[in-house]
Amino acid sequence: MKRQFKPGNMLYPVPAVMVSCADKNGNTNIITIAWTGTVCSDPAMVYISVRKERHSYSMIKESGEFVINLTTQKLTRAADLCGVKSGRNTDKWALAKLTPVAASVVKAPLIDESPVNIECRVSDVIELGSHDMFLAEVVAVNVSEEYFDKNDRFDMNAAGLVAYSHGEYYALGELIGNFGYSVRKK
């Protein structure tokens, strides 16, 4: 037996990322986003969905750029803080003890503590209702050296990434399979 709910967003878990942005005057901010993902691999494209009333919305709309910074278990408290405090009256960088560093392509800063920083340039803004979707091309990716293994392979899973599910943060857990394992010969 199933219980029916009203239509809503029940697609969980999702990534919990910190998006850094800057306006044309050099003011910066961090917004925590759970509505984000991949939309295309060639060219590499992603999206974030942001409410119009959020402080970062106008910064991203004006500059046409942002950085998706992946969140780890160590960064979960900072990510939560950046999601509940407004940048209109709070310096989230200082409050969350995060370090802004210059990006390689865009003007928005990277969060130094994040293991992966995805520099993005907005290609389209799609007005959807409660949120607008910023569709963006990935113009650069920066990864922390500490997560490269002895074979010089980036081990993203060693970073301790987190997911967000219906108001709660979870550490990603044990490996249960990999792509194609269901059809691979034993």
pLDDT given for residue 10 in this prediction? 82
Give per-residue pLDDT as tens, 143-185. Answer: 999 999 899 999 988 999 999 999 999 999 888 899 998 998 8
Residue carrying the six token digits 């979707």: 133
Q: How far apart are CA 159 and CA 152, in angstroms?
A: 15
How many other C-beta atoms are found inside a 10 Å radius of the C-beta of residue 144? 14
Residues forming beta bridges with residue 38, ordered by sequence position: 46
Q: What is the CATH number of domain 14-171?
A: 2.30.110.10
| Domain spans of the chain, in order of start | 14-171
What is this structure's pTM? 0.94
Q: How far apart are CA 92 and CA 87, in angstroms?
A: 6
Per-residue pLDDT band at 5 (split at 50, 70, 90): confident
Per-residue pLDDT band at 16 (split at 50, 70, 90): very high
Task: Provide the residue count of the chain.
Answer: 186
Answer whether residue 79 shows pLDDT above 80: yes
